[in-house]
Homo-oligomer: A and B are copies of this chain.
Amino acid sequence: MSKTESPTPCHDGEKTVTQPHKKALLNRLNRIAGQVKGISNMIESDRYCIDILTQISAIQSALNAVVMQLIEDHTKGCVRKAIWEGDGDVAISELMGVLKKINR
């Protein structure tokens, strides 16, 4: 499948992928970076542990939302393309590998 003919989000050769929600993902990550900076400030200014932990749980949720978006788009893009091209097993095993790492 030539890239110019079929501009799918997943280009197997170099494995580069333009995320379909690129702008939104970058915005979310900017916000997460700000939240991490906020935790540092809380620790610098001796804020109460429980308040810090509550804010970290918000970061965990925000990161998890990024993860879910990436997994969904990866499955709808790269995995689907691999299945169409007959490479589904490899793509699915790779997806399972990352699911096992995530959130644990």
Task: Give A contacts to B, CB under 8 Å.
Answer: 10, 15-19, 22, 25-26, 29-30, 32-33, 36-37, 39-40, 43-54, 56-57, 59-60, 63, 66-68, 70-80, 83-84, 88-89, 92-104
A56: which of B22, B40, B52, B102 is its contact (CB, 8 Å)?
Answer: B102
State whether A26 and B48 are in contact (beta carbons under 8 Å apart), knowing that A56-B67, A75-B95, A101-B57 are contacts in the complex. no
> Quick one: given A60-B103, A68-B99, are A16 and B48 in contact (CB under 8 Å)?
yes
- Indicate if the CB atoms of A89 and B102 lie closer than 8 Å: no
Q: Is the interface of A mostly helix, strand, loop or mixed?
A: helix
| B39 lies within 8 A of A36 (CB) | no
